[in-house]
A and B are shown apart, each in its own frame.
Chain A
Amino acid sequence: MTLTALLSHWLRNKVQLAMLLAGLTLATALWSGVQALNAQARGAYATAAALVSEDGASRLVAPSGQMDQARFAELRAQGVLVSPVVEGRLAVAETRVTLLGIEPLTAPQGTAAALADGDLQAFFAGAGFAHPETLAEFSAPPMPLSPSNAVPVGTLLVDIGTAQRFLGMEGQISHLLLTGPAPDPLPDGLQLAQASEGAELEGLTDSFHLNLTAFGALAFAVGLFIVHSAVGLAFEQRRGLFRTLRSLGVPLRSLTLALAFELVLMAFVAGLAGLALGYVLAAALLPDVAATLRGLYGAPVPGSLQFSPVWALAGLAMAFAGAVLAGGQALWRLWHMPVLAPAQPRAWAMATGRAMRWQVAGALALGGVAVALAWFGSGLFAGFALLAAALLSAALLTPPVLALGLRGAARLAQAPVAQWFWADSRQNLPRLSLALMALMLALAANIGVGTMVASFRATFIGWLDQRLVAEFTITPRDAAQAVALEAFLAPRVNAVLPLRRVDATLAGFPGAVFAMRDHATFRDNWPLIADVPDVWDRLAAEDGALINEQLARRANLWPGDSVLLPGAGSVPVLGVYPDYGNPLTQAIVTEGWFDRLYPGTPTRQLAIRTDDPSATRAALLDEFGLSAQAITDQAQAKAISMAIFERTFLITGALNVLTLSVAALALFATLVTLSGLRLVQLAPLWAMGLTLRQLAGLELARALVLAGLTMVLALPVGLMLAQVLLAVINVQAFGWRLPLQVFPADWAQLALWAGLAMIAAAAWPAWRLWRGGGGPLLRVFAYER
Chain B
Amino acid sequence: MTLLALEDIRKSFASAEGAVPVLQGVSLGVAAGQVVALTGESGSGKSTLLHIAAGLEAPDSGRVLIGAQDMAALPDAGRAKLRRGTVGLVFQQFNLVPSLTVGANLAFQARLAGVHDPEFCAALAVRLGLSDLLARYPEQLSGGQQQRVAIGRALAAKPKVLLADEPTGNLDEATGDAVFALMLELARAQGAALLLVTHSARLAGQCDRNLHLRAGRLA
Neighbour of A427 across the interface among B89, B98, B140, CB < 8 A: B98
Stretch at the interface among A37-45, A68-76, A177-185, A683-691: A683-691
Q: Which of B99, B108, B113, B140 is most buried by chain A, counting CB atoms within 10 A of its CB?
A: B99
- Contact status B84-A416, CB under 8 Å: no
- Contact status B112-A688, CB under 8 Å: yes
A416-B111, A778-B51, A781-B91 known; A691 and B98 CB under 8 Å?
no
B109 to chain A, nearest CB (A): 4
- Contact status A691-B77, CB under 8 Å: yes
* Count of CB-CB pairs between chains A and B under 8 Å: 96
Could you say which residues of chain A place their CB within 8 Å of the CB of B83?
687-689
- Contact status A689-B80, CB under 8 Å: yes
Could you say which residues of chain A place their CB within 8 Å of the CB of B84?
688-690
Neighbour of A683 across the interface among B57, B80, B95, B137, CB < 8 A: B95
A675-696: which residues lie under 8 A (CB-CB) from chain B?
Answer: 680-681, 683-694
- Contact status B109-A688, CB under 8 Å: yes
A344-B139, A692-B76 known; A687 and B98 CB under 8 Å?
no
A692 to chain B, nearest CB (A): 6
Q: How far is the CA of A680 from the CA of B140 in the complex (A)?
A: 17
B96 to chain A, nearest CB (A): 6
Q: How far is the CA of A693 from the CA of B51 in the complex (A)?
A: 19
Could you say which residues of chain A place their CB within 8 Å of the CB of B26?
none
- Contact status A688-B100, CB under 8 Å: no
Stretch at the interface among A51-59, A417-425, A518-526: A417-425
A728-785: which residues lie under 8 A (CB-CB) from chain B?
Answer: 774, 777-778, 780-782, 785
Q: Please, which residue of chain B has its CB at the minimum distance from the CB of A424?
A: B99
- Contact status A689-B77, CB under 8 Å: no
A338 lies within 8 A of chain B by Cβ? no
A392-411: which residues lie under 8 A (CB-CB) from chain B?
Answer: none
Counting contact residues on chain A (CB < 8 A from B), the size range is 35 or more
- Contact status A346-B100, CB under 8 Å: no
Q: How far is the CA of A698 from the CA of B153 in the complex (A)?
A: 22
Interface size on B, residues (CB 8 A): 37
Could you say which residues of chain B place their CB within 8 Å of the CB of A345?
98, 139
A344-B139, A690-B80 known; A781 and B95 CB under 8 Å?
yes
Could you say which residues of chain A place their CB within 8 Å of the CB of B113?
689
Q: How far is the CA of A173 from the CA of B107 in the complex (A)?
A: 94
Q: How far is the CA of A267 from the CA of B93 in the complex (A)?
A: 40
A426 lies within 8 A of chain B by Cβ? yes
Could you say which residues of chain A place their CB within 8 Å of the CB of B99?
420, 423-424, 426-428, 681
Q: How far is the CA of A681 from the CA of B100 in the complex (A)?
A: 11
A684 to chain B, nearest CB (A): 5
- Contact status A417-B112, CB under 8 Å: yes
Q: Please, which residue of chain A has its CB at the minimum distance from the CB of B163?
A: A687
- Contact status B104-A416, CB under 8 Å: yes
Neighbour of B89 across the interface among A346, A687, A780, A782, CB < 8 A: A687
Could you say which residues of chain B place their CB within 8 Å of the CB of A427?
98-99
Q: Please, which residue of chain B has its CB at the minimum distance from the CB of A423?
A: B99
A347 lies within 8 A of chain B by Cβ? yes
Q: How far is the CA of A346 from the CA of B95 in the complex (A)?
A: 14
A420-B108, A692-B76 known; A684 and B139 CB under 8 Å?
no
Q: How far is the CA of A426 from the CA of B98 in the complex (A)?
A: 11
Q: How far is the CA of A680 from the CA of B138 in the complex (A)?
A: 13
Could you say which residues of chain B place their CB within 8 Å of the CB of A692?
76
Q: How far is the CA of A782 from the CA of B83 in the complex (A)?
A: 18
Could you say which residues of chain B place their CB within 8 Å of the CB of A690?
80, 84, 112
Could you say which residues of chain A place their CB within 8 Å of the CB of B2?
none
> Can you name 13 A-B residue pairings with CB atoms under 8 Å?
A347-B139, A419-B100, A428-B99, A685-B97, A688-B89, A689-B87, A689-B112, A690-B84, A692-B76, A693-B76, A780-B95, A781-B95, A782-B47
The 10 closest A-B pairs by CB, nearest first: A689-B84, A346-B139, A427-B99, A416-B111, A423-B99, A424-B99, A691-B80, A688-B109, A684-B95, A689-B83
